[in-house]
A and B are shown apart, each in its own frame.
Chain A
Amino acid sequence: MTIGATATRIPIWRNVRVIAWAFQLVVFSIVAIIVYWLVGNYRVNTASSGIPTNFDFLDNPARFSIPGSPFDGNQAVRAAFGVGILNTLRISVVGIVMATVIGILVGIGRLSTNWVVNKLSVVYVEVVRNLPLLVILVFVFLGVVLQALPRIENAWRPLGLVVVSNRGIGVPWYQSGSGSLLVLIGMMGIGGWWVLARWRRSVSERTGELARSGPIGSAFFLLAIVLGWFLLGLQVSLPRVDGRTIAGGIRVDPSYFAVLIALVIYTASHIAEIVRGSIQAVSRGQGEAAKALALSPFQRMWNVILPQAMRVAIPPLGNQYLNLIKNSSLGAGFAYFELTNVAQITVGNGSPAVPAFTLALLFYVVISLVTSAVVNLANRRFALVER
């Protein structure tokens, strides 16, 4: 090679960047050829058997009903997909919240010095983490919901408020009417809680007294709800057994209940391990310093250790949330009408398979991407910026 001729331009065929581009082009064309071949094959095969490949099936009548929702068989398939997505979101949101709470408690419990709490947490995490979710789901559905819960004729009625049976769990609810206003009041209550918390924190920083924003804020929220209840004149509707079904109140679908419990049990065990690991990642000095400052164990955990631990824990937690969202699709085998189940049923009723499942895939991708974006946002906000 010409050494010392630093002023000459590198010829194009020896330029490393050009070669890299050429390589990229070759790989891209290989992938493009494979995709073109697969798609072409699909189109030709479906054309020869007359199967439609567009999204027109979304306007066909669904011909199946979804229990627990006003959807009936005469509405279009797109409405069924809407209900499916709502159900997936419903179980995901509730599942994520419950799994996080239980996971954090169990994770902390595993580090506890109380022998019983410690051993229980260890057993729970070690057993459940090593079971496949489908096995847990079958067990919860068949063993717990179908067998352990009583038949409708012998339904349990604890305190006369709740009806528990293997056809559903009835819980008291407000009478239908101005329920949306109550939700509005609830949201204003949460806003008030936040404002109160900020005020209490500034007071605490100024005067040094305990903020107690938790108790004060939740008291305000409950007050707002109760006041709103009386002002709007809402009434409670209690559930009761009516023939072979539960009337009144709101009914928790047994499939929803089973899938939720299984998802929460499974994901909480993973979250417990993540939380435990992240707490152990916080240097011991922090805990010892907090102890030296005479902070109570709760204050130590809540104000010193957990905030630092959560920084480490957020990316793997986000992962578990995504897993929970995707695992909700297992509800399809147990009569829970989430997105995968709806797609399977419409395909069984004559909708073309590839477009229907592509639609379901796209929705899962969107839901997962939104969740990842939220988690990344939280991560960036809490991350330690190192200089």
Chain B
Amino acid sequence: MAHPGAIRIVAPPAKGIAQLLWSDSPYNSGGELRKTLIFLGAMCVALAACTQTAETTTTAAGNGAVAPSGVLLADVQSRDSLNCGTRDALPGFAVLTEAGEHVGFDSDFCRVIAAAVLGDATKVNHVDLETADRFTALQSGQVDVLVRNTTWTATRDGSEGATFLQPTFYDGQGMMVASDSGFASVSDLDGVVVCVAKGTTSEGNAANEAARLGLSWEIRPYDDTDLIQEAFLQGACDGWTSDVSQLTGLRSAYPDGAEALTILPEVFSKEPLAPAVRDGDTGWAQAVNWAILATIQAEEYGITSGNVDDELGSTEDIGIKGFLGGEFEVEGAMTRVDPGIGLPVDFAYQVVKQVGNYGEIFERHLVPLGLSRGVNSLWTDGGLLYAPPYR
């Protein structure tokens, strides 16, 4: 409760300040002080309003244990463009061509997601990221999805705040050496310099492998594959370790020719390469996941970009028709399959028509490098690719 004496103290200054602000006095000549104080007051009010709105939106998101699902999906659809985190110089996976286009296996999966979510495979904004800041870009929202040959590990699921989706490529880590160095197996490499990309699982795996085999390796991490390539050319590195798929791509682009390098036969870790989205938005994660699974399911059904229109038009199989978003008859009424993921009903059709099925994407980019399907075949061919049923 205000002390009665306080009023006697407060009122005169209040009157005085009012006088100060509006009248002319040596402290307010030209109205300078008045203008300054009004400006500051307005800024305070504006900031308070901003803080209120920011806090209400962010606290609304942070109040429950889980953020409202599907927010990012709605964002991407209203923005009408997908921010896809990728890279610019890995042959076979993502290469920025002179025409300014991103070409590669990962780039095509960015287009797959755009085709599914936005209906148009060209509405992708490829954001080139360095290996060391790819997770920060994902966490901060700079990219909506990270399709950048990233290995799915427990730590990345947990403290990196990423959610990994269906792996697009099951890989392993290998070692590449110069063909004329005389090394035939990883156990020959003792007392050598091994170069690796900074901030990747390859670093830790190389250290573990060296310890396991009792070898001494000097592991030097570089930011840039260009630097590693230069170091390799000049003989400053004996071995180059990374995922076998990456090594194959880099070998194909080596200045001295692919025969100058040999990838040693040993594979020393599991590296499932999978796209990743940010933790906390299950709706977006599921939407992206099903976009990728659609390519695998399409290959299982035998649907390619060439015959997808025929299949949609003339197939009798309700499974395929439902998958492609076509209408079919159920108990006298025409209906479509809409699982409620948030994607348009014909997303699978758009994906296959505009980009292709998994096999087509693989053949387009990875077969020219010399990679074979191996464990990346369908489960019906003895591989690991198995899409859950679309119903």
Chain A positions within 8 Å of B, measured between CB atoms, are: 1, 11-14, 16, 19, 23, 26-27, 29-30, 33-34, 36-37, 40-41, 44-52, 57, 63-65, 67-68, 72-73, 141-142, 145-147, 151-153, 166-167, 242-245, 254-255, 332-335, 341, 344-345, 347-353
Q: A33-B48, A48-B62 are in contact. Are A12 and B16 (CB under 8 A)?
A: yes
CB-defined contacts of A244 to chain B, threshold 8 Å: 191-193, 238
Chain B residues 28-86 with CB under 8 Å of chain A are 33, 36, 40, 43-44, 47-48, 50-51, 54-55, 58-59, 61-62, 67
Q: A49-B161, A64-B204, A146-B236 are in contact. Are A30 and B44 (CB under 8 A)?
A: yes
Instruction: State the CA gap A182–B155 with chains docked (Å).
Output: 46
| CB nearest to A12 among chain B residues | B13
- Report the contact-size class of chain B (Cβ under 8 Å from the partner): 35 or more
A265 to chain B, nearest CB (A): 20
Contacting pair B198 A34 (CB below 8 A): no
Besides A37-B50, A49-B161, 10 other A-B contacts (C-beta < 8 A): A13-B12, A33-B51, A45-B62, A49-B279, A51-B139, A51-B161, A64-B207, A243-B190, A243-B191, A332-B223
CB-defined contacts of A51 to chain B, threshold 8 Å: 139, 159-161
**Which of A27, A67, A332 lies in contact with B218, CB distance below 8 A?**
A67
Contacting pair B27 A49 (CB below 8 A): no
**Which of B47, B51, B219 lies in contact with A67, CB distance below 8 A?**
B219
- B315 at interface, CB cutoff 8 A: no
| CB nearest to A255 among chain B residues | B220
Main secondary structure of the interface of A (DSSP, over half): helix
- B227 at interface, CB cutoff 8 A: yes
Q: A34-B47, A63-B204 are in contact. Are A348 and B161 (CB under 8 A)?
A: no
Contacting pair A352 B236 (CB below 8 A): no
Contacting pair B58 A254 (CB below 8 A): no
Contacting pair B26 A26 (CB below 8 A): no
CB-defined contacts of B219 to chain A, threshold 8 Å: 64-65, 67
CB-defined contacts of A351 to chain B, threshold 8 Å: 159
Contacting pair B199 A345 (CB below 8 A): yes
Instruction: State the CA gap A199–B199 with chains docked (Å).
Output: 57
Contacting pair A29 B44 (CB below 8 A): yes
Among the stretches B17-25, B326-334, B347-355, B381-389, the one at the interface with A is B17-25
CB-defined contacts of A49 to chain B, threshold 8 Å: 139, 161, 278-280
Instruction: State the CA gap A266–B310 with chains docked (Å).
Output: 67
- B231 at interface, CB cutoff 8 A: yes
- B234 at interface, CB cutoff 8 A: yes
Contacting pair B54 A345 (CB below 8 A): no
- B254 at interface, CB cutoff 8 A: no
B177 to chain A, nearest CB (A): 11
Instruction: State the CA gap A346–B67 with chains docked (Å).
Output: 28
Chain B positions within 8 Å of A, measured between CB atoms, are: 12-13, 16-17, 19-20, 25-27, 33, 36, 40, 43-44, 47-48, 50-51, 54-55, 58-59, 61-62, 67, 131-132, 135-136, 139, 155-156, 158-161, 190-193, 198-200, 203-204, 207-208, 211, 218-224, 227, 230-231, 234-236, 238, 278-280
B197 to chain A, nearest CB (A): 9
| CB nearest to A242 among chain B residues | B191
Instruction: State the CA gap A29–B75 with chains docked (Å).
Output: 34
A142 to chain B, nearest CB (A): 6
CB-defined contacts of A333 to chain B, threshold 8 Å: 222-224, 227
B250 to chain A, nearest CB (A): 18
A25 to chain B, nearest CB (A): 10
Contacting pair B236 A167 (CB below 8 A): yes
Instruction: State the CA gap A146–B220 with chains docked (Å).
Output: 14
Instruction: State the CA gap A243–B61 with chains docked (Å).
Output: 59
A61 to chain B, nearest CB (A): 9
CB-defined contacts of A344 to chain B, threshold 8 Å: 132, 198-199
Contacting pair B43 A30 (CB below 8 A): yes
Contacting pair A345 B40 (CB below 8 A): no
Contacting pair A348 B198 (CB below 8 A): yes
Instruction: State the CA gap A341–B132 with chains docked (Å).
Output: 10
CB-defined contacts of A341 to chain B, threshold 8 Å: 198, 221
| CB nearest to B140 among chain A residues | A45
Instruction: State the CA gap A79–B211 with chains docked (Å).
Output: 19
A325 to chain B, nearest CB (A): 21
B135 to chain A, nearest CB (A): 8
**Which of B136, B193, B199 lies in contact with A245, CB distance below 8 A?**
B193
Contacting pair B159 A52 (CB below 8 A): yes
Q: A41-B54, A51-B139 are in contact. Are A352 and B159 (CB under 8 A)?
A: yes
Instruction: State the CA gap A46–B279 with chains docked (Å).
Output: 10
Instruction: State the CA gap A47–B65 with chains docked (Å).
Output: 9
Instruction: State the CA gap A11–B230 with chains docked (Å).
Output: 75
| CB nearest to A73 among chain B residues | B207
Contacting pair B25 A146 (CB below 8 A): no
| CB nearest to A351 among chain B residues | B159
Contacting pair A254 B236 (CB below 8 A): yes
CB-defined contacts of B161 to chain A, threshold 8 Å: 46, 49-51
A71 to chain B, nearest CB (A): 11
A168 to chain B, nearest CB (A): 9
| CB nearest to A61 among chain B residues | B204
B242 to chain A, nearest CB (A): 14
Instruction: State the CA gap A347–B161 with chains docked (Å).
Output: 12
**Which of B131, B190, B207 lies in contact with A72, CB distance below 8 A?**
B207
Contacting pair A13 B220 (CB below 8 A): no
The 5 A-B pairs with the shortest beta carbon distances in the complex, nearest first, are A348-B199, A13-B16, A151-B235, A49-B161, A63-B204
B219 to chain A, nearest CB (A): 6
Instruction: State the CA gap A19–B67 with chains docked (Å).
Output: 46
